[in-house]
Amino acid sequence: MKFQVQIYVKDGTDYVLLDLFQDESIVVKSSVQDIQDIAQVFTDFSQTFTVPASKTNNGVFKHYYNNDLDELNANIRLDSRLEINRTPFRRGTTH
């Protein structure tokens, strides 16, 4: 079964749907870490993936590719959420 992934990143007060490459797969693994510690039962892991330099993505990431910008700060994290087939899956932050 093929799943469609949607990634939303908070830009100001609204979440913006990022443009993704059609031929790139995004792998997210959830596994049991330590059954003795109930607070740490599940851990998530994702392989690194890239997003295209589209008009939408460049606006959200404030033209990250342009290292001439003085206000560029790579340490800032943005609230984000991951949906699979339009169903919420995970919330977190992104670089």
Per-residue pLDDT of the chain (95 residues; tens, 9 = 90+): 678 889 999 988 899 999 999 888 887 777 666 566 666 656 666 677 888 888 898 888 776 666 665 665 666 778 889 898 999 988 888 76
3-class SS of residue 60: helix
In a 13 Å sphere around the CA of 57, the CA atoms on its Cβ side amount to: 14
Question: So what's the pLDDT on residue 38?
Answer: 62
What's the pLDDT at 23?
86
Global pTM reads 0.71
Specify which residues 43 forms β-bridges with.
31
Q: Which of 16, 21, 4 is nearest to 79 (CA)?
A: 16
Residue 51 has a CB neighbour count (10 Å cut-off) of 18
**pLDDT reported for residue 70:** 61
